[in-house]
Structure 1
C-alpha cells in the first residue's frame, strides 16, 4: 500500500479531487460527530395520537376487514375499508398540491388453502415521489385485513384494532406528516391486504416493485404497534422491537462460501436497516428504546415484510415488545373471566403515535439522505490497516462518505470517520480481523444513509432473483 499518498483531513480542499484517503486512528474511541437535525425532531412531534386514535376507530367500525369479507357495502367489510383508506390518501394529496400518487396494486388469488375461490386482493398505495431520485424508494406498510379464531370466518365481527388497524393508522398519519416536506428520494405508504390469508398483499406489491424497477432501499412493516400490556403481565410503553433477518434467502452458494471466510452473517442490508432505525429512536424519539431482534420474525411466525425479504430487498418488522395473545386472532368472548378479542380498548394511542413517529423520522431521514453506496469492497488481510472502496454515488445529494466499524461481538456501530468525497479510504492500524466495517453516504446537512457492509451480503442494491 506504499504507493498511496497520505492526506490529513484538515488539509482537504473542495477544489481538489481526491479518490484515496489514509486515516490515522490513534484511538478507537471515535466521536461519531453526528449533526442533529431540527426538522427530524419537528416530524416526530407532529405525529398526533388523536388522529391515530380516530383512524383506528374508523377501521374498527367496519366490523370486519377479513380478506374474504364484503366488498360492496359502504359500511362493512374490507371493500369499505379500502375505499376509506384510498379517500384519506387522496385527501392528504389534495392538501399537499397533488404530492401523492394514489393507486391500487392488486391481483386475483385463488386455489390457495386460505383463499380457495377467486378473490381480488387489493393494496392501497400512496407514492410521494422524490425530487432528485424518484425511483429510489423507502416504504412503510401496515395490514388492512383482520380475522377471528377461524381464519376462514369472514362474517363474524373482527375489529382488528391492534392487529392491524394500528399499523394502517400509522401509515396514514405518516403520510399526513411527511407530505408537508419534499425529499430527494421517494416514500411509499402501503396499506396491504391478504396478510392473514398468506401474505398475499406483500407478495403482490413486492412483485410490482420489481417489475417497476423500483430501487427499494428499505421496507418498514408495522404489524401491531399499539399494545403495551403483554400476556406476560408486563406493561411497557418505552420499548419496541425491530425484527430483521440475517443473510438473504436468495444468497447463492458462491456468496455463502465467501461469507464463511469474510463474515457478514449479522450485517445483511436488513440488519443495517434495523440498526439505522434503532439509531433514529435514540436520537429523535423520547422514551423509546428499540430492541434489535436477530430473527426474520417472531418464532415460527410471519409478517408482510417477508415477501420483500424473499426477493432480496432490505425489510424489517417494527412492533410492540409485549404481545397479548388473548387479543390476537380471537373470537369476541369472555371465558373464565378472561376477555378475548382485538378491541380498541386494548390500544394505547400515545404508544402507537410514538412508534409511528419512529417510522416517519426514519423514512424522512432515508429519503433526505443519499442512496447507500454500491459495490463496497474491503481488503486488509495480513496487513496492519484496513482499506474500503466503493462506487461513488452519481447524484446531487451525496457530499461525502463516512466509514463505520465495530467489534464483531457488538450489535451497533461503535466508531466512525468522515472521509470526504472519496471512493477509497484506509484506516491505519485498524486490523481487519478484529472488526466489522461499513460505509455510509452523507449529504450536505450531515444526514446519512444506512451503513453498507462490504460485499454481496451487505449490499442494498443487487440483482434480485
Structure 2
C-alpha cells in the first residue's frame, strides 16, 4: 500500500515517518561480488609488495638515470606493473585495455624536480558492457614511486613497502579479481608516479581525465595501507581503515562556498557521500573471508557471507587529508572529481620516507617486515566492494533539488534519472537528523518528485539509485531550486551538467 502511494506521490504531500535507526540497513550481498572478494589473496599481495621492494629505489627521478643496475629503478617497476595488468587481461580474454600515460615534467629550480623528468602512469580500463552506462567510470589508484630521506637520492635503498607499494598492491589485486566480472559501467585501475615530488603523476592524469571528458563518479586513492606492524606498538588497530574526504570542495568558488555555508552542507560534498557509501558497502561485504564460508551442512546452500570477529570496518575522517600531508586524491578533487583517501589507522613515521638505518635501537625504514599482508587484503576487499557496487549501480541521480520557494514545514524534492538508468531500477530517499554524520532512515520511491511532510530545516536528505539486484549508487545532496546555479561540489556530482 505504501509503495503504491509512493508511486503516485509526485505532487501530493506524503506523511512519511522516516523511522530512525542506528544506521540504514545493509544491502543484500551480490553473490558474484562476494565470490570475487573471496579471491583476494594476501599471498599475492605479499608477492606484489615484495617485487616492488626488489626494485631497490623507485624514485621518480631515477627515470633519467643511465647508471642504474639492471632491474632497478622506477622504469623497471613501471614495466612490471604494466606486465601484471597485461597478464590479468590475458586471463579475462583481453577485457582490460592497458595504457601508459607518459609525459615529461619540466624541471623547476627550488622544487623536488630540478630537471626535465619523464613520468609514467600505468592504468588498465575494464570497460562497461552497457553502451548506455559505459561512459561512467570509477577509479582506484596507489602510487608506485618511493623515496628515502633524500629526495634526490635515486640509488640508495628506498623500499617503499608501505608507502606506497601497499596501495599499488590494492589497485593490482582489485584489477585481478574484478576483471573476472562484467559491469555495466567502467572501472579504471591505476598506479601513478611522482607522488613524492608533489602529486605530479596524479595531477597529470586528473587533468587528462578532465580534458578527455571522463565521467569519473568516484576516485579511491590508497596510500599507506600496509597496517604497520611495529613490535611493542599498541596503538595500531588492524580492524579499521581511515577514509578521508573533503567537505568544502577545492574548486568551489566564493559563491559556492557561501551556498555551502547557507545550506550547512559542509559534510555532504560528493566526496563525503562516497565515504558514506564505502561504509555502507562494507556493512554488506566486509564479513567476507578470504578462505570462503564454511558449508552450511548437508542439503543446505553454502553461505556467501562470513562474519569476521571483529569485522573490518572503514571509518570516516571528516578531513580531506592528514595534517602536513597530501595525497593523490587531492589532484582529482582539484579538477572537480569526487575522491577519497584510504589510509591505515595509525601511521609510524619512522617507516616512511627514510633511508634504512638503526638509531638508538630503533629500526627506521619502510621495509616489508613491517607490512601486514592480511590487513592489506582487507583494504583491497573494502575497495573492491565499493568499486564493484558503484560500477554495477545505475549511476548517481542528476539535478537533485529541494524547493525553497515557500516558508513551510514540508520538503519537496525533485531529481532526474542518470543516463541509461536500467529497467527495474528505483530511488531511495536517505535522511538523517542534522546532528548525525551517517544516514539513519531510508525510503524507496519510484518517482522523481515528491513532497514529504518532514521539515527540511530539521533533516538532511540524499537521493540515490538502486537497481533491481540491490546495487546502490552513493547519495546526492539536494540543493535549492530557487534560481541558484549548481556546480560540482555543492552536493552535485562532477559529472552533472550545470543547471540554472
TM-score under structure 2 length normalisation: 0.87
Among 307, 312, 325, the alignment partner of 2:336 is 312
Q: Quick check: 1:369–1:397 contact (8 Å CA) kept in 2? A: no
Q: 1: CA distance between counterparts of 2:119 and 2:255?
A: 37
Aligned to 1:331: 355
Aligned to 1:268: 269
Asked if 1:131 corresponds to 2:98, the answer is: no
CA offsets 1:191-250 (integer angstroms, 9 cap, x no match) = 000000110010111011111111000000000111244696423210110000111121
Q: 1: CA distance between counterparts of 2:152 and 2:10?
A: 60
Q: 2: CA distance between counterparts of 1:274 and 1:96?
A: 30
Q: 2: CA distance between counterparts of 1:303 and 1:110?
A: 21
Q: Quick check: 1:85–1:124 contact (8 Å CA) kept in 2? A: yes
The structural deviation recorded for 1:382 is 2.8
Q: Quick check: 1:21–1:419 contact (8 Å CA) kept in 2? A: no
Aligned to 1:201: 201
Asked if 1:26 corresponds to 2:17, the answer is: yes
Q: Quick check: 1:184–1:397 contact (8 Å CA) kept in 2? A: no
Q: 2: CA distance between counterparts of 1:387 and 1:229?
A: 51
CA distance 1:27–1:85, change in 2 (3 Å): closer
- More displaced 10-residue stretch of structure 1: 279-288 or 122-131: 279-288
Q: Quick check: 1:67–1:121 contact (8 Å CA) kept in 2? A: yes
CA distance 1:142–1:418, change in 2 (3 Å): same
Aligned to 2:306: none
CA distance 1:248–1:463, change in 2 (3 Å): farther
The structural deviation recorded for 1:70 is 4.8
Number of aligned residue pairs: 453
Indicate the SS of the match to 1:432.
coil
CA distance 1:137–1:394, change in 2 (3 Å): closer
Asked if 1:459 corresponds to 2:457, the answer is: no
Q: 1: CA distance between counterparts of 2:102 and 2:443?
A: 45
- More displaced 10-residue stretch of structure 1: 221-230 or 370-379: 221-230
Asked if 1:347 corresponds to 2:380, the answer is: no
Asked if 1:415 corresponds to 2:416, the answer is: no
> Unaligned regions of 5+ residues in structure 2, if any?
288-310, 480-485
Q: 2: CA distance between counterparts of 1:123 and 1:260?
A: 37
- More displaced 10-residue stretch of structure 1: 276-285 or 100-109: 276-285
CA offsets 1:67-93 (integer angstroms, 9 cap, x no match) = 011567651000000000000100110
Asked if 1:163 corresponds to 2:159, the answer is: no
Q: 2: CA distance between counterparts of 1:376 and 1:24?
A: 21
Aligned to 1:404: 430
Aligned to 1:81: 77
Indicate the SS of the match to 1:68.
helix
Aligned to 2:176: 176
The structural deviation recorded for 1:8 is 4.2
Aligned to 2:415: 390
Q: CA RMSD in A?
A: 2.0
Q: Quick check: 2:236–2:345 contact (8 Å CA) kept in 1? A: no
Asked if 1:442 corresponds to 2:454, the answer is: no
CA offsets 1:31-62 (integer angstroms, 9 cap, x no match) = 65733322332222211001010011011111
CA distance 1:21–1:180, change in 2 (3 Å): farther
Q: Quick check: 1:167–1:222 contact (8 Å CA) kept in 2? A: yes
| 1:143-154 equivalent positions in 2, closer than 5 A | 143-154=143-154
Aligned to 2:40: 47
CA distance 1:333–1:445, change in 2 (3 Å): same
Q: 2: CA distance between counterparts of 1:20 and 1:43?
A: 43
